Amino acid sequence: MPSSRRRLTASLVTVLVLTTAGGLCWWGAHSAAEFIEKRSLGNVQRALMLDGKEWVTVTTDGLQVHLSGTAPTEVDRFRAMSAASTAVDSSRIIDDMTVAAVAALAPPPLKIELLRNDDGISVIGLIPSSSNRAALIRTLRDETAAPQITDLLEVSDQKPSEGWDKSVQFGLRAAQLAPRAKISIEAGTVHVSAITDSREEKGRLETSLNQAVPDGVKLQTEISAPRPVISPFMLRFLIDKDGPRFDACSADNEEGRDRIVEAAVDAGVDGIPGCTLGLGAPSPQWADAAVAAIAAVKQLGAGTVTLSDADVALVVPANIEKTVYDAATSKLEQALPDVFSLRAEQEKSTEDQEQGPAEFTATLDEKQKLSMRGRITNSRMHEAVDSLARSRFSEVQSNLLDDDAVPSGWTVRVLAAIEALDTLDYGSVQVTPDLIALSGTSGNPEATEAAAAQLADRLGPGVPFELSVRYDRLLDPALNLPDGNECVRQLNIIMSEAEIGFEPNKSSIAGDPAPTLERLADVMKECRDYQIEAGGHTDSQGSEGFNADLSRGRAQALVRVMREAGIDTANMTSRGFGESQPIASNETEAGREENRRIEFRLMSERPVRTETLPPPVTLQGTTAEPSAEDADHSHDEEPAPLTDEDILAESMASITLGPIFAGENMEGPINLTAAATMIRTLIAPSAAQVSQPETEFFGPPIPTAGTSPFAPATVGASEEFLSPQQREENIILPVQTPDENTPRPSPRPDEVAEEAASE
C-alpha cells in the first residue's frame, strides 16, 4: 500500500513538473512571438513613414507582415514594398495593397509644328485622319525651296475643331515667309518664332504675316533681329535746369545696359531710361567708361558728358567751383579705361569772358564740319581766320568775337591751331595765352609729330603745346583701304565673271567654286568691316514663293561656302529677292540667265569697328628751338613782331597761292614768305587808306595813282599792267568736257540773251 502511494505521488509529481514545464514553454514562445511581432510592426511602420507612405496599413501575424491600403499609383505600391523590405526580410511581407483606379486619359490635342532652318523643314505633330497628309507635304515642297522635308506626323481619329484648316493653310504660308522659324499650328491659333538678319527684314516679315493672317485665326509672333551698328558709338548724359537725362545712349550688351541705366537712375533720372543695344563699341569696357562719366556729372551736380567712340568730352557750367571741377575730372580720368581719352572744359561766365584771358576753341567733326568760338584781334583778322578755315574744311561755323585786348601774336596762334587741326580727321583744339591743346583721331600714324611740326613751323620756338592723337587704321589713306561702295563694286565684278553655278531648282552649288572664292577672299581681307548683303535673284519661272526661297537659299549657300573657305563673313548677311528685281526680260533664255544672279549690296557706309582703338599718342612740350645758324643771326638783329598786315598777307598767301602752286610740279618747296611779301605790298596802300576817312562817292571808281609799283590785282595772283582792251583780248576761258561730275551747262534763258543783245 505504501509503495502504491509512493508510485502515485511520483506520477503526480512527474505530471505536475511536465505540465509546469509545458506551460512555461508555451508562455515563453508566446512572449517571444509577441515581441517579434511588435518589433517588426514598429520597424516597418517607421520605414514607411520615413518614405512618406502614410497611406499603408501594417499588421503582423507572427513572423508575417501584412501591408494593406490603396496606392495612388503602381509606382507608389512598388516603393512601399521596397521601403518595408528595408525593415524586415522581403519573404515575410504579404502584399495586400490595391492601386487606385486611373482616370481615362484625354487624347492629345491636334497640333503641327514646323521647324525650318537652312537645312530643311521638319514637320512634327498630330493631325486628324481626315487631313490630306500627302498634300500638306507636297505644298511645303512646291512653295519652298527647302533642301529637305522630314515628315514626323502622326494621325488621330479625332475630329478637328473649327478653324483647323485655316490655321494649317496660314501656317504653311508662314513657313514660306520665314526661312528660320518655329511655327506652331493649332485650331484658331498660329505662333511664329523667327530669327531675321536685320531690323528691316524683321519689319517686312511682321508686315507680311499680318497681311496674310485670315479671319478667325489668331497670330502670335516672336521675331528677333541682330543688333544695329551704331557709328559713332555714342552716349550723352547731362544735368541742367530740366533735370538729369540722356540725349543719346548706346550699350554693347544687356549687362552693360543695365549698369548704365542703374547709374543714370542713381544720378536722378526718373523712370527707366531707354538705351539702345548695338554693335560698334570701341572697347569691351564701354559700360565702365559710361558709368564713370555719369558718376562724374552726378558729382558735379550739373554739366554734360559725351562719349563718342573712345573720346570723352566733359563740359561743366561756369557756376561749379573750381575745386569740385578739378576733383571730378581727376576722378573721372583715373576711372576711364586706357583706350578712352578725356577732354574736360569749364564754361566761362559772361564776366569771365569779358575780363578773363583770351581763348579760342575749334571742333572738327567726322563730316569735316568746323565750329569755332572765342576771341580774335579785329574784323580783318576775323576774316583771315575764316578764309583759312573755309579753304581747309567743307563747312565752317564761326562764332568769333572781336577783341583788341588779346595778346600780341594771338592771330598767329589761332591760324597755327587751325592748320594743326587740319592734320586730324576729327578732333578739337583749344588756344590760350599759355598753351595750345590739340586732341582727336587721325588716319596718319605720325599725326602727333606732324601736328607738332606744323605748330613749330608756324609759331617758331618756345610755344607750349599738348597733343593727344589716336590712330585709326580705317582712316589711313596710306593703306589704300577701299570704302564700302568700292568693296561692293569689286565683289559684284567678281560674281559677274564667276563660274559659280547652282543645280536646277536647288540651292546646291554646282562645279568648283575655289577660284572664285580665292578672288572673293582677296577683296574681303580689306572689306570685312563693312555690312554687306548677298542678295539672291531668280527668273520668273516657278511660283513666287518658291523663287523667293530658292534665291534666299542660294545666297545663303554662297555665304556659307565663303565662311567655310576661311573668309570673314561676320558682317555679311544673305537675302532672297526672288523674281522681284529683274535686270533683263524674262521672255528670253538669255534674259532669264541674266536675272539668275547673286548681287552684293552695301548696307551702311560706316564700317563696323571690330578692333579696339589703340590709346592716343600724347606729346607735351614746346615748339622747337631755332637752329644754330638762325641763333647766330638772331644776335645781329632782333626779329620784329608780326603786324596785322604781316599776318593777313601770310594767311592770304597760304590760302590762295598755296593751292595754286600745289597743283604744279615744282621741284622745291613753295616760298610762301615771298608770296606774302608780294601780297603785303599789294595790300599796304589799301591798309593805309583804311584808317583815313573817305568821302562818300557814288558811281564807278576813279583810278588813282598809288605808291605801289604794282597795279591793283586780285589777292593771291599777280599780273602785268595791261590796258583794259589788252586784258580783254587775253582772257582765256578753260573749256571742260562734260561728264557725270561736270554736266553740260544749260542754254542761256531767252530773256537774258535778249537783254545782253540790247546792251
CA–CA–CA angle 683, 687, 691 (5° rounding): 170
Identify which has the larger pLDDT, 759 or 476.
Answer: 476
User: pLDDT for 36-64, tens place per residue?
Assistant: 778 888 888 888 888 888 888 888 887 78
Looking at residues 438-453, what average pLDDT do you find?
A: 89
Q: Which residue in 442, 303, 417 sits closest to 362, CA to CA?
A: 417
Identify which has the larger pLDDT, 630 or 535.
Answer: 535
Instruction: Report how far apart, in Å, the C-alpha atoms of 603 and of each of 110, 402, 529, 535, 612 are.
Output: 43, 47, 12, 11, 22
Per the CB < 8 A criterion, the answer to whether 546 and 145 are in contact is yes
Q: Which residue in 559, 550, 552, 572 sits closest to 500, CA to CA?
A: 559
Distance CA 347, CA 359 (A): 11
pLDDT the model gives residue 749: 54
φ/ψ (deg, to 5) at 265: -65, -40
Looking at residues 133-153, what average pLDDT do you find?
A: 86
pLDDT at 552 over 90: no
SS3 720: coil
Q: Which residues does 678 contact at the CB level (< 8 Å), separation at least 6?
A: 710, 718
SS3 180: coil
φ/ψ (deg, to 5) at 176: -75, -35
Q: Given pLDDT bands bounded at 50, 70 and 90, which one contains residue 601?
A: very high
Per the CB < 8 A criterion, the answer to whether 47 and 84 are in contact is yes
CATH for the 348-478+614-626 domain, from 3.40.1520.20, 3.40.50.2020, 3.40.50.2300, 1.10.510.10: 3.40.1520.20
Q: Given pLDDT bands bounded at 50, 70 and 90, which one contains residue 100?
A: confident
User: pLDDT for 690-700, tens place per residue?
Assistant: 444 433 433 33
- Domain 111-224 shares a fold with domain 348-478+614-626: yes
pLDDT at 120 over 90: no
SS3 534: strand
Looking at residues 295-321, what average pLDDT do you find?
A: 91
Identify which of 483-492, 496-505, 535-544 has the greatest average pLDDT: 483-492
CATH for the 484-602 domain, from 3.40.50.920, 2.60.40.10, 3.30.1330.60, 3.50.50.60: 3.30.1330.60
User: pLDDT for 179-220, tens place per residue?
Assistant: 889 999 999 999 999 988 777 888 888 998 999 999 999 999
pLDDT at 724 over 70: no
Looking at residues 144-173, what average pLDDT do you find?
A: 88
Q: Given pLDDT bands bounded at 50, 70 and 90, which one contains residue 702?
A: very low
CATH for the 111-224 domain, from 3.30.365.10, 3.40.1520.20, 2.60.40.10, 3.40.50.1000: 3.40.1520.20
Distance CA 360, CA 409 (A): 13
Looking at residues 153-172, what average pLDDT do you find?
A: 90
Cell readout for 86 is 528595408
Distance CA 594, CA 496 (A): 10
pLDDT at 628 over 50: no
Cell readout for 696 is 562818300
Torsion angle defined by CA atoms of residues 728, 729, 732 and 735, in that order, rounded to the nearest 10 degrees: 100
Q: Given pLDDT bands bounded at 50, 70 and 90, which one contains residue 305?
A: very high
pLDDT the model gives residue 743: 53
Angular region, 577: left φ>0, alpha ψ -120 to 50, beta rest? alpha
pLDDT at 314 over 70: yes
Per the CB < 8 A criterion, the answer to whether 427 and 471 are in contact is no
- H/E segment holding residue 303: strand 303-308
Q: Given pLDDT bands bounded at 50, 70 and 90, which one contains residue 335?
A: very high
pLDDT at 318 over 80: yes
Q: Which range, of 151-155, 278-282, 536-540, 755-759, averages the lowest pLDDT?
A: 755-759
CA–CA–CA angle 477, 479, 484 (5° rounding): 75
CATH for the 20-99 domain, from 3.50.50.60, 3.40.50.1360, 3.30.1340.30, 3.30.390.30: 3.30.1340.30
CA–CA–CA angle 307, 313, 316 (5° rounding): 125
SS3 content of the chain, % helix, strand, coil (to 5): 40, 25, 35
User: How remote is the C-alpha of 530 from its chain's centroid?
Assistant: 12
pLDDT over 90 percentage in the chain: 24
Per the CB < 8 A criterion, the answer to whether 283 and 290 are in contact is no
pLDDT the model gives residue 459: 84
- H/E segment holding residue 155: strand 149-156
User: Model pTM?
Assistant: 0.51
Q: Which residue in 650, 139, 571 sits closest to 387, CA to CA?
A: 650
pLDDT the model gives residue 182: 94
pLDDT the model gives residue 711: 37
The number of CA neighbours under 13 Å toward the Cβ of 740 is 0
Per the CB < 8 A criterion, the answer to whether 111 and 125 are in contact is yes
Identify which has the larger pLDDT, 128 or 752.
Answer: 128
Report the mean per-residue pLDDT for the chain: 79
pLDDT at 557 over 60: yes
pLDDT the model gives residue 14: 77
User: pLDDT for 634-649, tens place per residue?
Assistant: 444 444 455 555 555 5
pLDDT the model gives residue 218: 93
Looking at residues 726-747, what average pLDDT do you find?
A: 45
User: pLDDT for 531-547, tens place per residue?
Assistant: 899 999 988 887 777 88
Identify which has the larger pLDDT, 230 or 153.
Answer: 153
Peptide linkage before 282 cis (omega within 30 of 0)? no
Domain residue ranges of the chain, discontinuous segments joined by +: 20-99, 111-224, 348-478+614-626, 484-602
pLDDT at 167 over 80: yes
Q: Which range, of 27-31, 146-150, 253-257, 719-723, averages the lowest pLDDT?
A: 719-723
Looking at residues 524-536, what average pLDDT do you find?
A: 90
